[in-house]
Amino acid sequence: MIDQKLERKFLKWLHEEYVRRYGYGVRNIDKCTFYLTRRCDSLPEDFYSVDNGVATSKLLHFAEELAAKGLVRFGDTGLDYYFTKEGYQAASQGFWGKTLDSLNKNPGLWAVSAILISIGSLIVSILDLK
């Protein structure tokens, strides 16, 4: 299991690679191959570890985690992986997209927010009458 921050960084890195090679949109999603055998010196420092002078990539671990969540899928060889549409959408979301997605997944927050705003409005109205 990888932490949320590192998973987000990995998704963002994959998205940047995809956009650099194919531009925005999901039309080329099956053409954009990511390889597990990528050289460690071409990866960000968080994506590999060095122990006794030997670099070990964490790409397989990261890709398996994202595949379990349905954000990437492995190719036939097992050495390559691709974005799914859901993975591309998750990686391309900005701050507001993530916020709205979170609120849509937790509708109770909308109700609590509405109640708090109503109570605030009531207090302001009562204070205004005095």
Q: What is the pLDDT of residues 25-47, one digit of tens each?
A: 888 888 888 988 888 878 888 88
Q: Is the pLDDT of residue 130 over 80?
A: no
Mean pLDDT, range 63-81, rounded to an integer: 90
Q: What is the pLDDT of residues 96-122, one digit of tens each?
A: 777 777 777 777 877 888 899 999 999
Name residues whose C-beta falls within 8 Å of residue 80's C-beta, 6 or more positions apart in sequence. Answer: 33, 34, 35, 36, 74
Task: Name which of 57, 61, 43, 56 is nearest 7 in CA terms.
Answer: 61
pTM, 2 dp: 0.69
Residue-range domain boundaries for the chain = 1-92, 94-130
CATH no. for 1-92: 1.10.10
